[in-house]
Structure 1
């Protein structure tokens, strides 16, 4: 994220219609990432869970939008303390319609709506770790509490002009710490508290629709150009480099993931291609304004291989991360954030240089600080929130409901109409659902 209150030129910035239009388009691109994420996650779950997975992302749009308008934007981005803003902009009041974001050429309202889309997708990312087993009401409450207690303060610390991590020189161009490590650590905190899925480590939990996964990955890739390039808050050469680095790193990560799984498992899978692309997008997010395109190749390749290796840790350590949010988003965010300390050129959107460009270890230690603070704060607070919800209203559905189908129980709907489907096709769908009884599919 371009620094919130940093003036880049000697003259007072003036309104720029080109940058404003670019930022509004970027905001729309970031919004489409949440439905894209819903499809990506939805394709990876079983037939009986697809609607619930979609709704876990879509409900974030509704809840976070209202909270952001009421108090989220002011707490995240108005000056206040090192850890949280104040209520000067409560309800989006005291903001002039033509008032510019300090140091930039776009209106405050444009910056606010762009940042809203970041706030929406961050809790939605967490949902993938909880697939198949959480109550929709509990999840909705968790979103409201989590963005208030975790996301808004973290965004302020990372991007606010008086934020703790910002003032300590931590670089996070577009959300490696504030979005991805934040969401990944939160996911880990929650799944360490709630129960595991029925059949974890025993049943295959195969994706029910790989085409849906690929569609979702494509929408994420498309929207991510707004996510990263838009974070410079202007349409110029730095935004173009961030755009280029996003494409380059994503391609490198996809190839790295595929190479790893071919060596490890003997196949190039569509799920691996989609997951590798997302890993690359995650890793380049904090660093796209600091590295060169050659550096972006390195970021992507390391993330592709590193995240592919990390997704198997859940079986080794026994935590049930349903759709590998920890392995992709937390690990990918850590990789991208720390590589800034090695690969920052000092010549893109930041002046800091990494180890490989003569900057020594100074920036690397700053990046470690940012990673550590966000990871531990989000992990601990998220676990506490999950524990309180689980002990009061219950975070998960019963095991019987999970086995029968969470879509029907939580939403009174099913994702697909199996009426009139032949017995052979019904058997295939039943196997995708992880059941042996075709009657369970109708349920």
Structure 2
């Protein structure tokens, strides 16, 4: 089967009838169905499939004489943001499976082992930390931090893992597995619109912006919407509104060289009644910029604005860092080698985090991007043409043939 056929095969899994698009979150029904699909599909290609101690899936193709490490690794993730597009993550997985099938059909003889990986909880949509599977594998996120996580329904990660055959006591850095990885090449749909203006279907990544997530909790006083005079209110929603406007302002006022982006895309209001003044508002800040200190400066500006807004409304605010990823520069020598295979393609930066970016600190890492004509991502309108998807698979196949 081709990558396009694989995408059609899984399209119905995790369809979101409310948001549109797909909602596939770590070890929920949709994610489990996708993991089962991947396992079956990879085994049908003759690959050996295993789940590691951090819930990542690995499908191995070894040379005839047995494993040869360090291996070439490709793949991506299958989970999504709420109401996400069909390609962010799955395109890299299905393209990798298609590439393996083509290499096998062509009689390609491996000199080193090759693995297709599905990383767990890349989007962080369920438990709040993006790239959780790769961060645990490398030790970037301590296991005790991960095990303390809960989802919006109050389910503990510890329990969810145990219920799905992953020993919570075993998660964390996996040096033996990390030593098996010689390099990683992740194919991904382009996020943003840099290839279309160049009339190019394929690009290579250069850098990932520094980025992180922060939870702001604004606490006020719950009360009655009808009987409470305006001058006696301590309304955290008002303070939150001022804070959200300050988020955009902080990004706009940052130095141009910082390429700052700041977003609030999730808000929880307690108790959430139409005729009740809220007692608490939780909002999540996504902040990104060119350098680590640019992100820190951006968050400091937002924190200061939130504190002022809370004080003006008689409220209090706390800020908790949920995750932070430093700026990534992909391996120059590997990228140059891939560019030679591809005959010269655009090299572009990205503002989106990826598992390959997490691994970049530990092993040579590179990324291929497939043109997204409108640039939309993390939304149902995310797309790539069938012709460009095919070009992406051809490019990935050629790169894997060179590397493995």
TM-score greater than 0.5 by the shorter chain: no
Q: TM-score, normalised by structure 2?
A: 0.28
Structure with the larger helix share: 1
Give the TM-score, by structure 1 length.
0.26
Higher strand share: 2
